[in-house]
Amino acid sequence: MSLVDDLRSALSHDRVLEEPLELHLYSKDASMMRGEATCVVLTETTDEVAAVVRIAEDHRVPIVARGAGTGLTAGASPTEGGIVLSTTLMNDIEIDVDNRTAWVGAGVINLDLSTYAEPYGLHFAPDPSSQSVCTIGGNVANNSGGAHCLAEGATTSHVLGLEVVLAGGEVVVLGGEAPDSPGLDIKGIIVGSEGTLGIVTSALVRLLPLDPDVRTLLIDFETMEEATQTVSDMIAAGFVPAALEIMDQKMMVAVENWLHAGFPTDAAAMLLAEVVGETEAVTAEAALISEMAYKNNARGVELAEDEAHRAKLWKGRKSAFGALAQISPDYYLHDTVVPRSRLVETMDEVQQIADRYGLDVYNVFHAGDGNLHPLISFDASEEGMLDKVQRAGEEMVAACLRNGGALSGEHGIGLEKRDMMRASFTELDLDAQARLKEAFDPEGLFNPAKILPEGSRCFDFGGTRRPIPEGAWV
C-alpha cells in the first residue's frame, strides 16, 4: 500500500491530510523558511503516534513533529518532505493537586494549562510570548523560556517526566515524580532536542502556587546604558526579580500605535520589572528597584495600579512582535544570549549592522539573562530583500558570539541556525552530538536536517545534514 493508505489504516480517514492547501499550511512554522510535506497526520493517542513512526520507517520517509507552528527557527518545517505529525489533538490534562504536578498532552496550549490549574491555586511558570497559542510539546522541544523564567528557570526546570515515542515505535516514560531519579538524565537530553531524537506525546510538569502578591513597575530612561546598568546592579546585589524586560524606543512606538498601553515613547528605553511574593516582601523589593533605577538616572518609575493595568503592560510586552505588522508585512526575529555586561555594546553592533544594510531593527529582550531578540522589519516582496535580511541576521548572531554569547536562549537551532553551529561548537562537540542523534535515531528519520550541520560526523547517516534546500527561504 502507499504511504497515505497505510496511515489511513492506522488513523481515521479525516485525520490524514494531503490536499495542496493543507500541505501548504503545515509546511512552514513561524520562521522565514518553508518546506514541503508529503502528508499531514493529526494524532490523538500515543499508540497512534507509535503506529505513524513505524509506518514512516517502513516507507523510509522523515517524520516531523509539530505543535502550533509558532517556532521561529524552521524546526517544524519539513524540509525533506515526509510526514508532518501534528500533536494538537493530544490535549488531555490530569492535575495532581497534592503533588503540584500535572500530566499534560503535547498539544495542550501553554496558557490553557495555567488557566486549568488556577482554581487549584497553581500555575505553569514558563510563559513564552506566544503562550496563548504555543503548545507544551513545542515548549519541551525547544526548552522555551519567557519573561518570568528569570527566577524560575526555563521549561527544563519544570519538566519531571516525559512520555516519548522512539525509533521503532517504542514508547518509554523518562523521569517521573521522584525528585532524584537514578541513572542518566535521558529526560534532560530530550528536552530541547527539537524532535530530532523522538516524539514527545505527554509531559509530567511541575506546577507552582499562585503568587500571593505582585508588583509591576514601568521605568523609563534617557539611555539604554542606564536601563541595562540598573538590571546589572540588581543581579550583582543578589536580587533576582520575577521578570526584567527592556524595550527600546522604536519598539515602544510600534506597540503604542496599536495598544496604547501607556509606554513612554519619548524615552530611549523602558524597563518592565516585576516582583512576586508576600505583600511585605514585594513592597520592599519594589522600593529597592525604584531606588536602584533612580541611582541610574531613571526619568520616572510607575507602579501598576491594579491587575487590569498590570495585564495591559504585559500585553504590550508580549504582543510586541505582532505590533510590527502595522509597519511592514514581514519580520525576522533572532534569539541570542550575551553576558549582561555586553548588552549595550552588542546592541550597538546590531544597530550598526542594520544601518549598513539599510534595515530597520527593533529591540525587546529578557534583560535579566541577557537574552536578546533583535527584530528586523521588512517587505519580502522587494527584490533581494530576503537575502539582505538573512545576511544581516547572520552577522548579528556572529556579533553576539564574539561578545561571549550563545546561539540561542529559547527559540532553538532548527534549520535557521544549523549552519552557524560551527561558530559555537568544536568539531569534537558536533561529533558527540551527532553520535547521540545516531544512537536514538539510527535511520535518521526524526526531523532530519535540523540542528547539526552537514559533516558533523565523519560520515553521514540517514540524510540528517544535507544543505539547506533551494527555495527554503520564503
Query: Where are the domains positioned within the chain?
Result: 1-210+425-474, 213-321, 328-402
Predicted confidence (pLDDT) per residue in 341-365, tens digit? 999 999 999 999 999 999 999 999 9
* CATH T-level topology, domain 328-402: Alpha-Beta Plaits (3.30.70)
Residue 182 has pLDDT above 90, yes or no: no
pLDDT in tens, 289-348: 999 999 999 999 999 999 999 999 999 999 999 899 899 999 999 899 999 999 999 999
Question: Which residues is 375 bridged to in the sheet?
Answer: 333, 362
- Same topology for domains 1-210+425-474 and 328-402, yes or no? no
Position 178 confidence tier, pLDDT thresholds 50, 70, 90: confident
Q: Does residue 4 contact residue 39 with C-beta atoms inside 8 Å?
A: yes
Burial class (CB in 10 A: 0-12, 13-18, 19+), 235: middle
Task: Point out which residues pair with 461 in neighbouring strands.
Answer: none
- CATH 3.30.465.10 assigned to 1-210+425-474: yes
Fold of 213-321: Alpha-Beta Plaits (3.30.70)
Contact partners, residue 171, CB within 8 Å, separation at least 6 = 46, 47, 50, 163, 164, 165, 201
Q: What is the pLDDT of residue 462?
A: 44
Helices (H) then strands (E): counts for the chain: 15, 20
Give residue 467's pLDDT.
62
Tens of pLDDT, residue by residue over 119-136, are: 999 999 999 999 999 999
Q: 335, 72 in Cβ contact below 8 A?
A: yes
pLDDT band at 461 (very low <50, low <70, confident <90, very high): very low
**Over residues 228-239, mean pLDDT:** 93
* pTM for the full predicted model: 0.94
Q: Is the pLDDT of residue 212 over 80?
A: yes
**pLDDT at 390 exceeding the cut of 50:** yes
Angle between helix 343-357 and 224-236 (nearest 10): 150
Phi, psi of 10 (to 5 degrees): -95, -30
- Average pLDDT for the chain: 94
pLDDT at 463 over 70: no
